[in-house]
């Protein structure tokens, strides 16, 4: 289970994160969201991510309303075009794309991502695998982050259109 929270970046947050966490890498991510005419994925997501690799991700229904906690299954594949071709032959279609530049940091069990999302702006996501919601919310609060955003980038883009 992945426990994740998201917030809008405020002035000085990046510097605060850089002072306490270890910088891992910066990547450009292109997320392609798939739908199928015979399956309603309204509270789930099927995504192909192209970044420093190619990843197929299933995200299950959300567990609570405060965070973006949900089951996540992710596999790395080697051939983006081949994977897209298989899904198209099975009747899936790309219905949305989200592009962002992501700066990834680590601090203990926490993965901290500062995202510059095309068309939306800058956000910070804090996540922990197999962690506790309260643990993530306490850490976010220690950074001065309150009132988490529970919408995904995809949902935010669709609302802003």
- Could you give the residue numbers annotated as active site? 33
Alpha-carbon distance 125 to 73, whole Å? 18
Place of tokens 């988490």: 148
Check: CB of residue 74 under 8 Å from CB of residue 129: no
Alpha-carbon distance 51 to 57, whole Å? 13
Give residue 50's Cα distance to chain centre: 13
Partnered with residue 151 across adjacent β-strands are: none
The DSSP bridge pattern shows strands 70-77 and 54-62 to be antiparallel
The DSSP bridge pattern shows strands 54-62 and 45-50 to be antiparallel
Alpha-carbon distance 91 to 98, whole Å? 21
């Amino acid at each position: 289970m992945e426990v994740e929270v998201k917030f809008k970046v405020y002035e000085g947050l990046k510097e605060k994160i850089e002072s306490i966490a270890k910088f891992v890498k910066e990547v450009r991510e292109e997320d392609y969201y798939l739908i199928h005419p015979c399956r309603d994925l309204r509270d789930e997501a099927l995504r192909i991510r192209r970044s420093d690799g190619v990843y197929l991700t299933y995200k299950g229904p959300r567990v609570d309303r405060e965070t973006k906690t949900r089951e996540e299954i992710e596999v790395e594949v080697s051939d983006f075009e081949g994977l897209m071709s298989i899904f198209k032959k099975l009747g899936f279609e790309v219905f949305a794309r989200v592009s962002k530049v992501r700066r990834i940091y680590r601090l203990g069990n926490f993965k901290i991502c500062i995202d510059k999302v095309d068309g939306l702006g800058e956000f910070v996501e804090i996540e922990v695998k197999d962690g506790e919601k309260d643990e993530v919310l306490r850490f976010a609060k220690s950074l001065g982050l309150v009132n988490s955003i529970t919408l995904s980038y995809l949902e935010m883009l669709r609302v802003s259109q």
